[in-house]
Amino acid sequence: MYSSDTLHEFRHFLLDELRSGRLHGGDRLPTERELSETWNIGRSVVRRVLSELKEQGLITQVVGSGTYVSADASEKLQAGAAQVTAMETSPAELMEVRVLLEPVVMQLAIRHATPADFMKMEECCARAEAAQTLEEFEHWDGALHQTIADATHNNFARSMFQLMNSVREQGDWGVLKKRSVTPQRRAIYEQEHRDLVAALKARDAEAARELMEAHLVQVRRNMFGY
């Protein structure tokens, strides 16, 4: 099994090479074996990162010839800056920021949330509880946090949470979440979500802040052990 940190570092290296112009359109990348040996990582890690870059249109792979930088890679990196930022952000970096920022956002949500916003939060909780798979539960988990951000009716807060959810959609997050979530932990998360929404509906800023912080610290501990 590959290390999430190793995969993240290798991905970041290649993106930085493309962004800086050290790798130009048409340049041939080293072979999978060469990259594996240079970075002392498994070829499965190399293949996964190259596959991601190919899906983004940043590289092309020609059977029997090799892997090449796409001619418009630089333009695509500039146009998709937010998406690239999500690709470069590790799950640990995301949680570090979430624990600091999301509790603070609760006050804005309480100040501006409408009855329609609270109905959407309740729906996210119900859909998460009814989810038959972890992937479906994770989707509605992320949707709840995004709905709370939307309830601030603040465009910057909305955009910030959209970027955070983009990181959650990366494969690294899903792998870690799958390893850490047990049926018992999922039940705890569901109750924490319900308690948080209740505090928001009661317009209790202090309780909502404390509940969000405790929830995120719990998720971080389960995922990373600290």
Query: Is 157:108 a contact under the CB 8 Å cutoff?
Result: yes
Query: Rounded to an integer, what distance in angstroms lies between the CA atom of residue 216 and that of residue 98?
Result: 7
**Comparing C-alpha atoms, which of 60, 57, 2 is closest to residue 29?**
60
Rg for the chain, CA atoms, rounded: 20
Ordered per-residue pLDDT tens for the chain, 226 residues = 445 667 778 888 888 888 777 888 889 999 999 999 888 888 888 888 888 888 888 889 888 889 998 887 777 766 555 555 556 678 888 889 899 999 999 999 999 999 999 999 999 999 999 999 988 998 899 999 999 999 999 998 888 888 887 777 766 666 777 788 899 999 999 999 999 999 999 999 999 999 999 999 999 999 888 8
For residues 219 and 226, the answer to whether their CB atoms sit within 8 Å is no
pLDDT, residue 5, reads: 67
At the second CATH level, the architecture of 89-224 is Up-down Bundle (1.20)
**What pLDDT is recorded for position 85?**
59
Say what the pTM is: 0.65
What pLDDT score was predicted for residue 86? 58
Question: What pLDDT does 3 receive?
Answer: 55
Query: By the 8 A CB rule, do 52 and 38 touch?
Result: no
Report domain 4-80's class: mainly alpha
197 neighbors 121 (Cβ within 8 angstroms): yes
Q: Note the pLDDT of residue 171.
A: 60
Domain boundaries, the chain: 4-80, 89-224
Measure the CA–CA gap between 185 and 63, rounded to whole angstroms.
45
